[in-house]
Structures are given as structure tokens and as C-alpha cells.
Amino acid sequence: MRPSLNTLWIRSEILMKSKYIYGAKDKYHRKLNEINPNISTHISRSEQNIHLPKGYIESMRIGKPDWWQSRFLDGSFNFSEGAVYPNVQKSVVDISPDEIRENVRRKGWKVTSGADYGLQDPTVFLMVAVDPVDGVAYVYDAYAKRQLPVPYHAKEMNRMLEHVPHGGLKGLIGDPSGKRRNINDRRSIFDHYAEYGLYFEPGDNRIDAGIMKVFSYFEMGKLKILKHLEDVIDELTLYHYKPTDMDERPSEKPADGEDHFCDTLRYIVQTFPDDPDLLKSVSYGFEDFRQTSSEAHLPFELRSDDQSDYNSSPDAWYNAYY
């Protein structure tokens, strides 16, 4: 069997509950309410083995992907065999969500949100904003609650969307099962949320194609996750393919488990261009025209005139009449 399940258990039950972690190169964002003061973790990296021949570590790094080097040479528990998205941790950025919200309000960044519905399972809601200048999508807000009614979820979703101006929301994408109608009253989950002003469209639920697309966006640096979304980061990190025997062909289907944020992110990214480089499409908001310092990316014809010496120029009279 692949060792990934053992790695995941050690990470979740020992490492992430340790009060102290010694010898780690990576930073692990643990939840304070889950830390056990009686547990500590000590990580030994390959470079600390004084008996290895000179140049051994460097030779082992040649031709290996970053996740392999991090796991097998640096003792990282953020990367494990069979991970669907092995480089999630490298996509985590330390940006304030308020900064993203301000860009949505004032710089024309577009937002796409998605939801996965549940009662025993959580109902989750994700928000992704796209920087049209750099062509990067940022997962900047998330919500997850169990055993609560639709009116409660809808209220929270509407609150999260309050900062998005008219025209700034590109779409609300939901689990396509939400469009299934009840056999008795012919109503669906989508209909229920529509009563609260949330009009969801069914997401593309092709798992293989969706995973490949999300993977491409991560690998090309076009999809980032804000650091404070610890539950989202953990779920994406622990998202693994089904384990197989050594003589079996590796599975292309993820193992069952907590995957609600993963599914929701997949619905959202499926609405983006297949080529991540095409995510860059400059859009201009009101704030772009007010700030000269932010106009470097604008075509010359759309930049503001330089008025610094205009009033004292021979042509100043023109402004008085036109």
C-alpha cells in the first residue's frame, strides 16, 4: 500500500496537535484549541545525517519535483505521496482579506463564489477574486457550517457578498445536485436559496477534468489562498488519491473524505479559462482613473492628462471655455 495514509495520520494526530515542533523547515498553522501540551514533534532532515557522503543531498535533488524534495529530504509533512494538489502550501500567501475586498470595491476585481450543500456534511461557501492585471485568482473568504437551515446559510452568504459592487459578481456556482427538484413540490435547493436573493448556477462536476484544471492553476502560480483560511488549506493539503497496491495502476479518483472545499473550488475554477494565462484581462475601475500611480498598465489613450503645469501654459485659456 502507499504510505500516504500513515503520513496523513501522523500529520493530523501528532504533528498538528504538538505544542512544540523541532527541526522543521516548514511552518505549520495549528489550531490553538487542538494543541496538546503533552505532545512534541522532532523532525530530522536528511542534511543532518553526518554519515551521508559529500554531495549526496545535492545529487538526490537533481530532477526531483519540489514536493518530493520537501517530503523526502527536508522532512516536510505538507507534501505526501498521492496528494491531489502537492504544491498547495506554496500557493498560500500572507495577504489581508480586507485588501482583497478593497480591490474588489475600487479596482474592478471580479468575484466568483461557489457553494456545496449539506446537513450532516457542512454547507460551504467560497469566494475567489481575480486580479485582472496580474491574472491571479485569490481564494480570500470561506464559510462552513453543519446542521443549520438554509435561511441561516443564506444570511451569512449575503453578508459575505456585501462588499461586492453591482457588476462585480461574475457568478454563484453551486453543486449541480442542488438543481434536482423534489418529487412532491418540484422545488430544488437552488429554488430555496433564490428566495434569499442567491441565484446559483449548476457547477461542472467532471471530477477528472476539474482536478486537472485546478492543478494547472496551482502549478502555474495563478491560484493563491490567503493564509488565514486554515480549514481550506488543510482540506486541500489532505486531499489524496485512493491508495493502491504496489502492483496496481495508481488511481485517478480521490479517496472519500472531507472534500467539500475541494469540490467547491473545482466548480469555481471550471468557470475560468482553460489556459491560466488567459485569466489576465485588464479591467478598469473608477479608482484606476483617479490614481495616476496606478495607470502604468493603461493604454496611453486612457491615461489622465498631466495637469501639473497646464494652468500656467499658453493653452490655459482653452480650459476656461471648454
The predicted pLDDT at position 53 comes to: 87
Q: What does pTM read for this prediction?
A: 0.70
All residues at 6 or more sequence positions from 151 whose CB lies less than 8 Å from its CB, including other chains: 196
The predicted pLDDT at position 314 comes to: 56
When pLDDT is averaged across residues 64-81 and rounded to a whole number, the result is 70
The predicted pLDDT at position 290 comes to: 37
CA 294 to CA 303: how far, in whole Å?
A: 10
The predicted pLDDT at position 196 comes to: 93
Residue 23 DSSP label = S
pLDDT (tens digit per residue) in 144-194: 999 999 999 999 999 999 999 988 999 999 999 888 776 556 688 999 999
Which of 242, 261, 260 lies closest to 252, judged by CA? 242
Question: Options 3.40.50.720, 3.40.50.2300, 3.30.420.280, 3.40.50.620; which CATH number does 90-279 get?
Answer: 3.30.420.280
| Model confidence at 291: pLDDT above 80 | no
When pLDDT is averaged across residues 129-139 and rounded to a whole number, the result is 93
| Model confidence at 90: pLDDT above 70 | yes
Question: What residue spans define the domains of the chain?
Answer: 4-81, 90-279
When pLDDT is averaged across residues 206-216 and rounded to a whole number, the result is 92
CA 126 to CA 134: how far, in whole Å?
A: 21
Give 41 or 11, the one with higher predicted confidence.
41
pLDDT (tens digit per residue) in 223-272: 999 999 989 998 888 887 766 554 555 556 777 667 899 999 999 999 99
CA 86 to CA 66: how far, in whole Å?
A: 9
| Model confidence at 100: pLDDT above 90 | yes
Sign of CA dihedral 210, 212, 215, 216: negative
Q: Is 65 helix (H, G, I), strand (E, B) or coil?
A: coil
Which of 178, 206, 224 lies closest to 266, judged by CA? 206
